[in-house]
């Protein structure tokens, strides 16, 4: 069940749900708008010629109030808000319609697990042919909350728990028992 503004207000007031800092205008009828932080990560493209999932990647960290995303470029950013979800609530990250209409795709793998705590790392992609200037503090996405039928038996306590600022991919920490190391395949041309 999607949670309403009145339920969200009650949960925020009791401390069951944490979204901080939060201004009144961020609370929407069935969601909470989140604002763009001032911390960004850009993949260090001079450091690697191929992205591999079994090794850490090197990122360039930027801290600034404004940033321009060139056309067809990708950037990681963080929200200003620190959130903590109870173990029986999940949230969907959705881009704001007004942001999507200028060609900016906002994602966080689309999902926040019950029990997650931290700032959200957003994946930003400029699908436009023109650069897009972003300003920290502007509402950039929204969280839609849903109550689960029961508390999660194993709430999120993973590799991104407690994150502050954007965090690059930690997929290299995953264990995939069905995959055995092989020689690197040649890129498809």
- Report yes or no on 158 lying in a domain: no
Predicted confidence (pLDDT) per residue in 60-97, tens digit: 999 999 999 999 999 999 999 999 999 999 999 999 99
Where do runs of H (alpha helix) occur along the chain?
5-14, 97-100
Predicted confidence (pLDDT) per residue in 8-21, tens digit: 999 999 999 999 99
Number of separate domains in the chain = 1
103, 132 Cβ separation under 8 angstroms: yes
- Catalytic position from the list 20, 123, 178, 186: 123
**Cβ contacts of residue 95 below 8 Å, gap of 6+?**
104, 105, 106, 107, 140, 141, 142
Query: If you search the block for the tokens 């969601």, which residue do you land on?
Result: 31
20, 27 Cβ separation under 8 angstroms: no
User: Cis link prior to 158 (omega < 30° from 0)?
Assistant: no
- Report yes or no on 179 lying in a domain: no
80: three-class secondary structure by DSSP: strand
Quick one: pLDDT at residue 180? 59
Flag residues of the chain having pLDDT under 50. Answer: none
CA angle 176, 116, 127 (to 5 degrees): 75
Quick one: pLDDT at residue 49? 83
- Report yes or no on 106 lying in a domain: yes
- Report yes or no on 176 lying in a domain: no
Q: Which pair of tokens denotes residue 148?
A: 């689960």
- Report yes or no on 53 lying in a domain: no
Give the H/E segment covering residue 144: strand 139-147
Range of 38's domain?
5-47+59-151
- Report yes or no on 110 lying in a domain: yes
105, 124 Cβ separation under 8 angstroms: yes
- Report yes or no on 20 lying in a domain: yes
CA distance 129 to 127: 7
State residue 54 phi and psi, 5-degree precision. Answer: -105, 10
Is 123 annotated as catalytic?
Answer: yes
- Report yes or no on 103 lying in a domain: yes
Domain harbouring 34, CATH code: 2.70.40.10
69, 134 Cβ separation under 8 angstroms: yes
């Amino acid at each position: 069940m999607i949670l309403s503004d009145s339920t969200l207000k009650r949960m925020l007031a009791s401390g069951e749900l944490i979204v901080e800092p939060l201004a009144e205008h961020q609370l929407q009828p069935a969601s909470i708008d989140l604002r763009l932080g001032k911390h960004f990560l850009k993949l260090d493209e001079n450091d690697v010629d191929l992205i591999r999932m079994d090794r850490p990647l090197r990122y360039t960290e930027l801290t600034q109030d404004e940033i321009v995303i060139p056309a067809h470029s990708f950037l990681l950013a963080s929200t200003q808000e620190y959130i903590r979800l109870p173990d029986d609530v999940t949230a969907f990250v959705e881009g704001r319609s007004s942001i999507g209409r200028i060609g900016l795709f906002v994602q966080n793998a689309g999902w926040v697990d019950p029990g997650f705590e931290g700032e959200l790392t957003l994946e930003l992609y400029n699908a436009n042919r023109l650069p897009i200037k972003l300003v920290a503090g502007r509402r950039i996405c929204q969280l839609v909350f849903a109550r689960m039928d029961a508390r999660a038996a194993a709430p999120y306590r993973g590799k991104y728990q407690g994150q502050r600022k954007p965090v690059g991919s930690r997929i290299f920490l995953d264990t995939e028992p069905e995959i055995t190391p092989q020689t690197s395949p040649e890129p498809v041309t």
